[in-house]
Structure 1
Amino acid sequence: MAELGNSIDVSASGLRAQALRMRVIAENLANSDSVAKTPEGDPYRRRVATFAAEVDRASGATQVSVKSIEADKSAFGRIYQPGNPAADGQGYVEQPNVNPLIEAADMKAAQRSYEANLNAIESARGMTMRTIDLLK
Structure 2
Amino acid sequence: MIDPLQASVQIASSGLEAQSTRLRVVSENLANANSTGRTPGSDPYRRKTTTFTAEMDRAAGVRMVKVKDIGTDQAPFRVDYEPGHPAADPTGYVKLPNVNSLIEMGDMRETNRSFEANLQVIKQVRSMVSMTIDLLRS
* Partners of 1:100 and 1:87 in 2: CA distance: 22
* Partners of 2:35 and 2:61 in 1: CA distance: 44
What's 1:78 paired with? 79
Pairwise mapping of residues 44-63 of structure 1 onto structure 2 (< 5 A)? 44-63=45-64
* Partners of 2:38 and 2:49 in 1: CA distance: 24
What's 2:28 paired with? 27
Range moving further from structure 2, 82-91 or 111-120: 82-91
1:130 correspondence with 2:103: no
SS at structure 2 position matched to 1:11? helix
Runs of 5+ unmatched residues, structure 2: none
Identity of aligned residues (%): 51
TM-score where L is the length of structure 1: 0.96
Cα RMSD of the aligned pairs, angstroms, is 1.1
What's 1:88 paired with? 89
Tell me the number of residue pairs that the alignment of Structure 1 and Structure 2 aligns: 136
SS at structure 2 position matched to 1:45? coil
Pairwise mapping of residues 4-23 of structure 1 onto structure 2 (< 5 A)? 4-23=5-24
Is the Cα–Cα contact under 8 Å of residues 41 and 94 in structure 2 kept in the other structure?
no
* Partners of 1:49 and 1:131 in 2: CA distance: 39
What's 1:112 paired with? 113
SS at structure 2 position matched to 1:54? strand
1:102 correspondence with 2:114: no
Q: What CA deviation, in whole Å up to 9, does each residue of 1:16-66 have, x standing for no partner?
A: 111111111010011111100123421000001111001101011111111
Q: What CA deviation, in whole Å up to 9, does each residue of 1:74-116 have, x standing for no partner?
A: 1100000101122122210010001110000000000000000
Q: How far off its partner does 1:127 sit?
A: 0.8
TM-score where L is the length of structure 2: 0.95
Is the Cα–Cα contact under 8 Å of residues 83 and 91 in structure 2 kept in the other structure?
yes
Range moving further from structure 2, 34-43 or 110-119: 34-43
* Partners of 1:41 and 1:79 in 2: CA distance: 14
1:69 correspondence with 2:85: no
